[in-house]
Amino acid sequence: MTAQVNAKPRGRQFFNNPGPTNIPDRILRAMDRPVMDFLAPEFLEIHRACHAGVKRVLKTDQELFIHASTGHGAWEAAVANLFSPGDLVLVIETGYFSLGWQEMGESLGLKVETLKADWRTGIDVAKITERLVKDKAHEIKGVFAVHNETATGLFLPLQDVRRAMDEAKHPALLLSDTISSLGSMEYKMDAWGIDVTVGGSQKGLMMPTGLALTGVSKKAMEASRKSKLPKYYFNWELMKARMPQKFIGTVPVHMFFGLQESIKILEEETLDAVFARHARLAEATRECVRAWGADGKGPTLFGQNKERLSNSVTTIQMPEGHTSDAMRKAALERFNLSLGGGLGPLMGKVFRIGHLGDLNEPMLLGCLATTELAMKTVGVPFAPGGVDAAIKSLAN
Ligand SMILES: *Cc1c(COP(=O)(O)O)cnc(C)c1O
């Protein structure tokens, strides 16, 4: 039996991290081609198609920038382009990633106030209105919102945040991190009145990590002209001046080959069908977890707010006295299943199943069944019937 532990795993890895996500062969094949001049007409057409396609995915007709960076880079770009030293911004606490934006804002010289919220239920939107109404002098220049908090598995309804800002008649810019929801959950930048949307290539877009997408409203572009924080590589105005490539430095053409294919894949399925598939896989995952915890001894859903459970990632609370890390280690090393761990204060206390991107029913069922196998292997208690509950949910 020990030989099995040490053997090189066979078969394809089941990859259920909530980012990066599985890269479809079609995207890998699209990238597997010789380089070309980024100013050649053939590339400029691909570049144009990518910009138009990303705008359709973001549902915006406004400005778009594509950086060679992670999502963090694009967020830093947004801060540097919009604000000046000492500006006050409001971060809506959702979990680990919201705290990251707080830290980034502070490091870049902003005054950051965080609206506290319970990670398991999410913020009561009325609190946002209440805080903004109090800000009669309009000192708050920006509201930072994480659309889908990948650490907790809860999303924040941005339409409601917009409504809260409108009710307070507050002119602050609304910035949203849609890194783990873009291309897997509904998102409407313009209709929802979002000023800046930051997305990444490696989650719902099913790409390698390394491109970040930033949708920018007209209002935000205007605000950027007054901003005094230093920037160069990330300077939106400078990028706009570098036409036609709209990019500072060498354009990573292969990432655009992949991005063009990613948009094709999403649009062939249709965005609505993509969102419906994510909803179906997410609900099956939740049904499985509910069954595991039905006897009060097994793992349970971390999210306690039924209205806000994410369709791209499920965060699962371990039973008292059991760490998720041993179970994840067994899943990875013995069974070649990769699961997400807990982030920040949730480390060891939860694990996360990513069900976003290039995923179908057999892949999800494989993940859920193998998670049961890993729990059994390391002695984590769970009630039986989880996989059956997922099957029942999917057969509906
Ligand atoms: C993954 C993720 C990030 C970080 O993205 P990077 O591309 O790794 O910088 C930020 N916010 C959320 C909500 C995420 O899921």
3-state secondary structure 255-267: HHHHHHHHHHHHH
Tell me, yes or no, whether 276 and 260 share the same domain: no
- Nearest Cα neighbor of 74 from 199, 248, 245 is 199
On whether the CB atoms of residues 88 and 111 are closer than 8 A, the answer is: yes
CA atoms within 13 A on the CB side of 166: 9
Tell me, yes or no, whether 116 and 166 share the same domain: yes
CA 1 to ligand 1 centroid distance, Å: 39
Q: Is residue 17 part of a domain?
A: no
32-44: pLDDT as tens digits = 999 999 999 999 9
Range scoring the smallest mean pLDDT among 10-19, 183-192, 210-219: 10-19
Residue 383 clears pLDDT 70, i.e. is over it: yes
CA 70 to ligand 1 centroid distance, Å: 8
Tell me, yes or no, whether 257 and 277 share the same domain: no
What letters, b where the CB count within 10 A reaches 16 and e where it falls short, cover 283-310?
Answer: bbbbbbbbbbbbeeebbbbbbeeeebbb
Given pLDDT bands bounded at 50, 70 and 90, which one contains residue 87?
very high
> Is any ligand 1 atom within 6 A of the Cβ of residue 153?
no
- Nearest Cα neighbor of 200 from 84, 76, 107 is 76
Domain final position from 246, 267, 288: 267
Counting from 1 in the atom list of ligand 1, the atom nearest the Cα of 146 is 13
93-143: pLDDT as tens digits = 999 999 999 999 999 999 999 999 999 999 999 999 999 999 999 999 999
What per-residue confidence (pLDDT) applies to 7?
A: 61
Tell me, yes or no, whether 204 and 333 share the same domain: no
> Is any ligand 1 atom within 6 A of the Cβ of residue 386?
no
Q: Which structural domain, as residue segments, surrounds residue 381?
A: 271-395
> Is any ligand 1 atom within 6 A of the Cβ of residue 177?
yes
Pocket test of ligand 1: the residue of 99, 102, 179 to mutate, having most ligand atoms within 8 Å of its CB, is 179
Tell me, yes or no, whether 65 and 158 share the same domain: yes
What per-residue confidence (pLDDT) applies to 396?
A: 86
Counting from 1 in the atom list of ligand 1, the atom nearest the Cα of 19 is 1
310-321: pLDDT as tens digits = 999 999 999 999
Domain final position from 267, 301, 327: 267
Counting from 1 in the atom list of ligand 1, the atom nearest the Cα of 313 is 15
Tell me, yes or no, whether 180 and 284 share the same domain: no
E strand or H helix that includes residue 236 = helix 236-241
Tell me, yes or no, whether 120 and 35 share the same domain: yes
Q: Is residue 157 part of a domain?
A: yes
Percent of the chain with pLDDT strictly greater than 90: 97
What per-residue confidence (pLDDT) applies to 2?
A: 47
Tell me, yes or no, whether 256 and 320 share the same domain: no
Tell me, yes or no, whether 254 and 326 share the same domain: no
CA 367 to ligand 1 centroid distance, Å: 23
CA 294 to ligand 1 centroid distance, Å: 32
Q: CATH code at 375?
A: 3.90.1150.10
250-285: pLDDT as tens digits = 999 999 999 999 999 999 999 999 999 999 999 999
- Nearest Cα neighbor of 193 from 205, 208, 176 is 176
Q: CATH code at 86?
A: 3.40.640.10
What per-residue confidence (pLDDT) applies to 184?
A: 98
Residue 203 clears pLDDT 80, i.e. is over it: yes
CA 344 to ligand 1 centroid distance, Å: 14
| Three-class SS state of 284 | helix
Residue 5 clears pLDDT 60, i.e. is over it: no
The count of structural domains within the chain is: 2
Please provide the DSSP assignment of 287-319 as one string: HHHHHHTTTSSS-EES---GGGB-SSEEEEEPP
Q: Is residue 9 part of a domain?
A: no
Residue 1 clears pLDDT 90, i.e. is over it: no
Tell me, yes or no, whether 318 and 353 share the same domain: yes
Given pLDDT bands bounded at 50, 70 and 90, which one contains residue 6?
low
Q: How far apart are CA 19 and CA 148, in angstroms?
A: 12
Q: For atom 6 of ligand 1, which residue has the closest CA? A: 71
